[in-house]
């Protein structure tokens, strides 16, 4: 399989909105009542959007891996996603306390970090530095919201990051993924690409998420992250974790259509 072609096809199914990716993200967030904040987090400055309400429970969305690769051996110069599905899910979530976080080095023009190393969207995309930074950013957003508990939601590689963060926190009320890269070793083997040698693998942390209510959604037409990745993670995590196949959906389409209903009963 050619993962680059699959990613390009997934991108083509997204929103065809005019403007640069940062401009589209700003407009999407603004229309949803989400305010921009830049969070210092370890070696990174992470772009986030949040509603400024306060409450006991904060839902945090983590963006996917970002821009597709032009070729299997050539990463994009900029990892900013042209169509950020996790941000669209956050915008569709009408809860008062909602936040979204970009992955390291995405939207660098909005966070003043022009010299990000490409390893953070190559082999180290789920590395310890990345997971620690996201964990710190989530804590900062939770403090700002006065939240004692968090629901973590991630799309694609953001699902991997959400699972890895959930495994090291004690305040996670629920974990939700959409097309999550939840078994990285199996994912790279399926697509015949190089292992993510500098990354942590969510499947190795699955047992540490046992006891957290979890829903791992995957479309039956998702050729990028097929259902077996979510199913292997859910099996290792055990109850109350479930992998849920959604008929007719692919990696990107059309998850916002019924998104609030898919969170029902988790918060």
The per-residue pLDDT for range 172-225, each reduced to its tens digit, is: 999 999 999 999 999 999 999 999 999 999 999 999 999 999 999 999 999 999
Tell me if 202 is assigned to some domain: yes
Angle at 192 between CA 6 and CA 216, to 5 degrees: 60
- Parent domain of 57: 3-258
pLDDT in tens, 36-77: 999 999 889 999 999 999 999 999 999 999 998 888 778 899
Q: Look at the chain and report how many structural domains it folds into.
A: 1
Does a structural domain hold residue 263?
Answer: no
Q: Is residue 200 part of a domain?
A: yes
How far apart, in whole angstroms, are the C-alpha atoms of residue 136 and residue 109? 21
CATH number at residue 214: 3.40.50.1820
The Cα–Cα gap between 118 and 75 comes to 8
Would you say residue 264 lies in a domain?
Answer: no
| pLDDT band of 17, cuts 50, 70, 90 | low
| Residue 9 pLDDT grade (very low, low, confident, very high; cuts 50, 70, 90) | very low
**Cα(97)–Cα(259) distance, integer angstroms:** 16
Position 265 in a domain: no
Q: Is the pTM of this model over 0.75?
A: yes
Residue 3 has pLDDT above 50, yes or no: no
Q: Torsion over CA of 203, 124, 82 and 202, rounded to 10 degrees? A: 10
User: Which of the two residues, 13 and 59, has the higher pLDDT score?
Assistant: 59
In a domain, 105, yes or no: yes
């Amino acid at each position: 399989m050619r993962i680059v072609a699959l990613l390009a096809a997934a991108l083509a199914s997204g929103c065809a909105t005019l403007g640069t990716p940062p401009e589209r993200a700003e407009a999407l967030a603004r229309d949803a009542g989400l305010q921009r904040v830049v969070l210092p987090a370890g070696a990174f400055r992470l772009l986030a959007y949040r509603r400024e309400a306060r409450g006991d429970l904060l839902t945090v969305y983590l963006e996917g891996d970002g821009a597709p690769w032009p070729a299997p051996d050539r990463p994009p110069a900029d990892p900013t996603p042209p169509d950020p599905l996790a941000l669209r899910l956050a915008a569709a979530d009408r809860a008062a306390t909602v936040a979204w976080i970009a992955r390291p080095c995405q939207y660098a023009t909005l966070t003043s970090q022009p010299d990000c190393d490409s390893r953070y969207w190559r082999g180290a995309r789920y590395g310890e530095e990345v997971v620690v930074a996201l964990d710190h950013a989530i804590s900062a957003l939770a403090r700002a919201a006065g939240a004692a508990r968090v629901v973590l939601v991630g799309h694609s590689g953001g699902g991997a990051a959400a699972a890895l963060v959930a495994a090291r926190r004690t305040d996670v009320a629920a974990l939700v993924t959409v097309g999550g890269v939840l078994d990285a070793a199996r994912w790279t083997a399926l697509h015949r690409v190089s292992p993510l040698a500098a990354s942590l693998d969510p499947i190795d942390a699955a047992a540490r998420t046992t006891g957290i209510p979890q829903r791992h959604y995957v479309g039956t037409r998702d050729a990028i992250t097929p259902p077996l990745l979510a199913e292997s993670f859910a099996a290792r995590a055990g109850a109350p974790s479930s992998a849920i196949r959604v008929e007719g959906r692919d990696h990107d389409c059309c998850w916002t259509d019924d998104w609030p209903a898919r969170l029902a009963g988790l918060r």
